[in-house]
Structure 1
Amino acid sequence: METAVAPVQWVGALDRGHLKMLDQRLLPAEEHWHEMSTYAEVADGIRDMVIRGAPAIGIAAAYGVALAARVLAVEAERDEIEEKLEDVYDHLSKTRPTAVNLFWAIERMKRTVAESSELDAPALVARLFEEAEAIFTEDRDNNLRMGRLGADLLPEGAKVLTHCNTGGLATGGYGTALGIIRAAHAAGKLEHVWVDETRPYLQGARLTAWECMKDEIPCTLITDSMAAHFMKEGEVDAVIVGTDRVVANGDIANKIGTYGLAVLCKHHGIPFYVAAPVSTIDFEAQSGDEIPIEQRSAREVTHIKEQAIAPEGVQVAHPAFDVTPNTLVTAIITEEGVVEAPYRPNLAKLRES
């Protein structure tokens, strides 16, 4: 089963078209699309969480580079474009520091520019849009393969718990962890999905539940603090999460609350699976200690939209991600295959392939 939901879309011709972003801050109450014609607008959309999810962030950043090149092709000489794009790369890279797909996509676009020195300005712009579209298409194809591989790991009648949103809204339109759930549902193997609300931004409640209901996937929304109860009651056969970064030793960074789920799985003897495209693997970082953890605003904790839910002036901590050590990870599911411990040598094989 597939979904029509994709958080970014290109509309129109390359010379005058624009990128559309589905404003995920307004879901599920309202489906509103923003039109973005400059890289600065794309950067703001990423930073302000109009869209979120590591693969979707990478896709948007790639289009942002192409949009910047389109403007520069009018304003600058061909030999100046590559130099001026350095500021664009830097601006985009500062939007969300944890999601490695952002940096992977920027590096891929930078490499495309370097390898296109023989092209004139209009041809370079066309080539960059072509590369951005390739990143988009490859992500969806990779997620479909990942979904099939992950579904094979689940038992018949599986009851799965997932955290945050890892579906079409976080990717090119299918999903990583939620893509596996979609594939299992399509194969008739899935009985039920437990959807963590995912405080404080409520991606599970607002987005994952919305996607599941659109695709008629049976689901139940629970608060984050209920996971242990349902595990104890034998109502969870597996936990499947996505990730914003996998490092060389198999440690993973994902939405805050993921580490706690992994600890609960260890105690209850439940498999803890991580769905990750190869583009989400940071082969340079050697352990989770090297992953930068984004610190977001206190207001996202103290308010739901405009409604205050905490005393004014209270001190707040808001790390957006936590790091789960590899010892708690049952397997990492990629489009190139399922990787199990020992993670360092087995992940390294993906880099070599």
Structure 2
Amino acid sequence: MKNEQLPLQAQEGEGTAAGVPMTMIQALRSAMDVMLARNPDVVVFGQDVGYFGGVFRCTDGLQKKYGNQRVFDAPISEGGIVGVAVGMAAYGLRPVAEIQFADYFYPASDQIVSEAARLRYRSAGDFTSPITLRMPCGGGIYGGQTHSQSPEALFTHVCGLRTVMPSNPYDAKGLLIAAIECDDPVIFLEPKRLYNGPFDGHHDRPSTPWSEHPKGLVPEGYYSLPLEQAAVLKPGRDVTVVTYGTMVFVAEAAARELGVDAEIIDLRSIWPLDLAAITASVKKTGRCVVLHEATRTSGFGAELVALIQEHCFYHLEVPITRVTGWDTPYPHAQEWDYFPGPARVAAALQQAMEA
């Protein structure tokens, strides 16, 4: 399905139960469309998001519909984009700012960490920071070292920030709407590899269209999902796999190929974390594999392992295993060797089952 085939929608109230087929790009655009229509304080801006509709076309058509005072382009200055968003939020707006690639957030680190994240605390609650920072993340498009990083762990270290990463169109729309409505700054990470379809981990293109996936059906109107609630995508008894983003589909493929009854938990909200869902699953299965695309050392998987160890130690049958990206600068031509694939995940599951 081409992006242009789905018209912009801005309906009040709940969408239809079944929804309509959308890619993740279309679902994100629908979320912004709905919120622009519902709340005049919402503004959308960033590099190329206005007239051009964004480098991935996520904002295509929004400026034409809402005008260039509500949807507009920004200079190539990430610090300027976030700094302006902080000022907007302090004066009552709800900015949705796009950092064109997550790799580009570094020039805006001070504005994110020292201003956006601390505004509520520093003002003793007089000001809030309802900022949503959309950032395409991860690899899979041969973007090289500066267009492929997964920096989620850096954001989870900062008090005052929320960090979200959806794995499918249905969650993407509901979580983005919730992020825009949230009074705290939300880092909204969007796996580029999932924009146009889910992956089975074996190929560099979507394995199936989102229209054939149950979570590719998205209500056209308003709905939101809790920002701190994980999803149990597949119940199981043998082993728990804790993951998020693109790796959800790699975990599913690995469990299917190995024939393991794995319970797969999609975090959705990386921080704050739904620790209750994780511990309930691990206490049931007694085994756990943590999976993410980012590098291993100081990756968010390390925090997950520590928390699971603290809360589930007497229920664990075997040590917790991590499957991650390599501790190396992001490769270009070899990126599919860098990603944790079904073979590496299946080996970890096999190890957990045989220990």
Instruction: Give the TM-score normalised by structure 1.
Output: 0.31
Higher helix share: 1
Instruction: Give the TM-score normalised by structure 2.
Output: 0.31
